[in-house]
């Protein structure tokens, strides 16, 4: 395999691909690590693009007091590859070929991790550390192209510091959202990331999760401790009085998690080079704990395996430009990072978190697993979808439809101009008097597409059937209306003799149908399943609730035979009676 590298920034939409290297070097001993970094920087000083990798076990090359395990067999402590030119291109895209991670198993496991959390709390109580970063490994086998795994992981995380490095023996797949350091001109910037909570599918619940993270004393303390450590590290090389924290405890939204991030900057002298920065900063304090040397000593005692590339750094050094004193360099903290053996497909992935005196074993286990979701998340490109009814030259419930699609745009970080969408929809609806179906599609970049069609005839009483198996109501695509409708399409295709299919969740609760919300009558009262059962927050359903015509009440599948009347409701068709049909 020809060595190549690429770096994708999903926040700016910029990517660079490096091909056809003219020099490649590896450091297999600690004595070789610092000379290798000097050589990498010299290549950039002479006009090259350079991809660099430094493993966690290279730490003692910069500070002999750091304690680590022997390095991963077959993996150099540090490596670089130099390229004459770079191809500036669009963001990475997946091919049509399948990619799967099989037999994924935690190396330490839930019990080991929890017991280690308790042990760390005792260490902290003894006074030898304030925080220790504990990590576990996941081992599996990759079936497919590692480049496709990278495209999938990068799209699932949508962070700034993604990197793919392909060599003869290993492929490094990094979807890291965390900046270790960037040096541009005389300014060095680091963005430590500590504090994590899993995102929720429903917008209200997701915002609650974000507030919980922002208000968490444990997570705030964890972040502040590491920010202070980074201030001290940067202060070792920065000019006196130049170290600043322009951003503290900022919430950042990623596809699968919320993170707390802070920013530390400092100004350095012209004489300092890349090795000086690694001497002061490596490894990043966010993946060690504080104090760094003491935390690393305890990590080596607690974790019985080397970390390798995980918790090291992967970066790119750009060619020196006219008038600059040093090349522009960017290095990530190699988290959300997998290493794939090119010969066997064996895959290793690491995840973990900072443990403080307030940490709870089960909470830390859940955080560790939340950070691993990116490895298996398969989220193809999609668009937001909103279907509306027009009548008498206007869109019915326009405000509510726009509010819902705007909430989804916020959740997925789509660039939606609501005012522009309102004008477009209003203009289209004004051209027709008879009822029409108006469909709005929103792309991630904010591009809008619409269709306007007459509403055709439809039955007034619907035949419906309960789905044969429950649906995953934890899926984000069950509570946001998008073009990813495979679940609904497959259920409709499997039941061609009925008009719609009723969905139910893992707890035996009725959720909705493939096309509408469910209403049911008990005596003289009408109810609808609560959103906690899953499903879409329908606009027509909302109007009925606000008018007091229906109430929320859980409907269990086993209760279906006891209800007095069943209806489906949608903004397009309104309320229609439904009759449950037995399984085919």
CB neighbourhood size of 546 (10 A) = 10
Output the 3-class SS for 117-163: HHHHHHHHHHCCCCEEEEEEEEEEEEECCHHHHHHHHHHHHCCCEEE
Let me know: does 107 contact 140? Beta carbons within 8 Å.
no
Return the exposure string of 344-354: e unless at least 16 CB atoms fall within 10 Å of the residue's CB, then b: ebebbbbbbbb
Let me know: does 569 contact 516? Beta carbons within 8 Å.
yes
CA distances (Å), origin 509, targets 163, 324, 557, 559: 43, 64, 6, 9
What's the token pair of residue 21? 């290297």
* 371 noted as active-site residue: no
Residue with tokens 């109007």: 543
3-state secondary structure of 151: helix
| Residues in the chain, total | 584
pLDDT of residue 2: 64
Separation CA 124–CA 130 (nearest Å): 6
pLDDT of residue 323: 86
Separation CA 461–CA 91 (nearest Å): 48
pLDDT of residue 291: 95
| Residue spans of alpha helices (H) in 29-145 | 30-45, 109-126
Gyration radius of the chain over CA positions? 27
Say if residue 105 is exposed, middle or buried (CB neighbours under 10 Å; 0-12, 13-18, 19+): exposed
Separation CA 97–CA 340 (nearest Å): 18
φ and ψ at residue 235, rounded to 5 degrees: -60, -20
pLDDT tens-digit readout, 436-483:
999 999 999 999 999 999 998 888 899 999 999 999 887 889 899 999
Its pTM stands at 0.87
Separation CA 316–CA 165 (nearest Å): 11
pLDDT of residue 254: 85
List all residues 6 or more positions away from 421 whose beta carbon is below 8 Å from its beta carbon. Answer: 402, 405, 440, 442, 448
pLDDT of residue 156: 85
Let me know: does 195 contact 259? Beta carbons within 8 Å.
yes
CB neighbourhood size of 469 (10 A) = 8
Q: Of 41, 57, 182, 194, which residue is the catalytic one?
A: 194
Separation CA 390–CA 434 (nearest Å): 8
pLDDT tens-digit readout, 141-164:
999 999 999 999 998 888 999 999
Residue with tokens 């009347």: 565
Identify whether 481 is preceded by a cis peptide bond (ω within 30 of 0): no
pLDDT of residue 94: 83
* 244 noted as active-site residue: no
List all residues 6 or more positions away from 538 whose beta carbon is below 8 Å from its beta carbon. Answer: 512, 516, 517, 569, 570, 571
Quickly list DSSP for 235-295: HTTBPTT--EEEEEEEEEE-SSEEEEEEEEEEEB-TT--HHHHHHHHPSPGGGTEESHHHH
Q: Find residue 140's DSSP bridge partners.
A: 347
Q: Of 41, 178, 367, 400, which residue is the catalytic one?
A: 178
Separation CA 348–CA 332 (nearest Å): 18
Q: Crossing angle for the helix pair 398-412 and 418-430, nearest 10 degrees?
A: 140
Q: Find residue 577's DSSP bridge partners.
A: 461, 567
First to last CA, the chain: 53
Separation CA 120–CA 63 (nearest Å): 23
List all residues 6 or more positions away from 531 whose beta carbon is below 8 Å from its beta carbon. Answer: 202, 479, 537, 552
Per-residue pLDDT of the chain (584 residues; tens, 9 = 90+): 566 999 999 989 999 999 999 999 999 999 999 999 999 999 999 999 999 999 999 999 999 999 999 999 999 999 999 999 999 999 998 888 889 999 999 999 999 999 999 999 999 999 999 999 999 999 999 999 999 999 999 988 889 999 999 998 999 999 999 999 999 999 999 999 988 888 888 888 899 999 999 999 888 988 999 999 999 999 999 999 999 999 999 999 888 889 999 999 999 999 999 999 999 999 999 999 999 999 999 999 999 999 999 999 999 999 999 889 999 999 999 999 999 999 999 999 999 999 999 899 999 999 999 888 888 888 788 999 999 999 999 999 999 999 999 999 999 999 999 999 999 999 999 988 899 999 999 999 999 999 999 998 888 899 999 999 999 887 889 899 999 998 999 999 999 999 999 999 999 999 999 999 999 999 999 999 999 999 899 999 999 999 999 999 999 999 999 999 999 999 999 999 999 988 86
What's the token pair of residue 359? 């940490």
Query: Is residue 414 left, alpha or beta, with left meaning phi > 0 and alpha meaning psi from -120 to 50?
Result: beta
Q: Find residue 466's DSSP bridge partners.
A: 502
Structural domains in the chain, CATH included, are 4-375 (3.60.120.10), 384-454 (3.30.470.10), 461-580 (3.20.10.10)
| DSSP-derived pairing of the beta strands 329-333 and 313-317 | antiparallel
What's the token pair of residue 564? 């007095």
């Amino acid at each position: 395999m020809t060595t190549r590298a690429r770096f994708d920034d999903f926040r700016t939409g910029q990517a660079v691909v490096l091909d056809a290297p003219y020099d490649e070097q590896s450091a297999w001993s600690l004595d070789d690590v610092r000379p290798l970094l000097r050589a990498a920087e010299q290549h950039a000083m002479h006009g090259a693009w350079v991809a660099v990798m430094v493993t966690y076990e290279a730490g003692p090359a910069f500070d002999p007091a750091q304690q680590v395990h022997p390095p991963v067999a077959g993996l150099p402590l540090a490596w670089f590859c130099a390229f004459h030119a770079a191809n500036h291109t669009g963001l990475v895209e997946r091919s049509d070929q399948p990619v799967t991670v099989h037999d994924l198993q935690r190396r330490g496991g839930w019990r080991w991790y929890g017991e280690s959390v308790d042990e760390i709390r005792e260490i902290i109580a003894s006074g030898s550390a304030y925080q220790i970063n504990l990590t576990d490994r996941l081992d599996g086998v990759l079936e497919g192209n590692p480049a496709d795994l990278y495209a999938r992981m990068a799209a699932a995380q949508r962070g700034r510091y993604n990197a793919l490095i392909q060599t003869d023996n290993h492929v490094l797949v990094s979807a890291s959202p965390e900046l270790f350091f960037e040096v541009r001109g005389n300014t060095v910037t680091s963005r430590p990331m500590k504090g994590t909570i899993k995102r929720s599918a429903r917008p209200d619940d997701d915002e609650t999760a974000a507030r919980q993270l922002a208000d968490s004393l444990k997570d705030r303390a964890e972040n502040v401790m590491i920010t202070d450590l980074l201030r001290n590290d940067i202060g070792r090389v920065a000019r006196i009085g130049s170290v600043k924290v322009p951003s503290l405890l900022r919430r950042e939204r990623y596809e699968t998690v919320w993170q707390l991030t802070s920013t530390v900057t400092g100004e350095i002298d012209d004489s300092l080079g890349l090795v000086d920065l690694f001497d002061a900063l490596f490894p990043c304090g966010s993946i060690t704990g504080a104090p760094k040397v003491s935390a690393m000593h305890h990590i080596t005692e607690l974790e019985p395996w080397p970390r390798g590339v995980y918790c090291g750094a992967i970066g790119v050094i750009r060619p020196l430009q006219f008038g600059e004193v040093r090349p522009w360099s960017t290095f990530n903290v190699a988290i959300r990072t997998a290493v794939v053996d090119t010969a066997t497909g064996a895959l290793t992935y690491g995840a973990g978190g900072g443990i403080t005196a307030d940490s709870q074993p089960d909470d830390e286990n859940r955080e560790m697993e939340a950070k691993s979701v990116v490895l298996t998340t398969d989220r193809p490109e999609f668009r937001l979808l909103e279907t509306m009814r027009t009548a008498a030259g206007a869109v019915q419930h326009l405000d509510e439809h726009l509010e819902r699609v705007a909430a989804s745009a916020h959740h997925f970080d789509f660039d939606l101009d609501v005012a522009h969408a309102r004008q477009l929809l209003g203009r289209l609806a004004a051209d027709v008097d008879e009822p029409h179906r108006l469909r709005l599609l929103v792309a991630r970049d904010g591009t809008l597409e619409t269709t306007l069609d007459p509403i055709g005839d439809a039955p007034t009483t619907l035949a419906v059937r309960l789905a044969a198996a429950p649906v995953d109501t934890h899926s984000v695509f069950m509570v946001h209306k998008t073009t990813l409708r495979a679940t609904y399409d497959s259920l409709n295709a499997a039941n061609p003799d009925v008009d719609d299919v009723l969905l139910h969740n893992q707890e035996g609760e009725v959720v909705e149908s493939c096309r509408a919300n469910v209403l049911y009558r008990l005596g003289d009262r009408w109810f609808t399943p609560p959103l906690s059962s899953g499903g879409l927050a329908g606009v027509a359903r909302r109007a009925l609730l606000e008018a007091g015509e229906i109430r929320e009440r859980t409907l269990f599948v086993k209760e279906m035979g006891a209800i007095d009347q069943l209806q489906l409701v949608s903004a397009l068709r309104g309320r229609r009676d439904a009759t449950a049909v037995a399984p085919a």
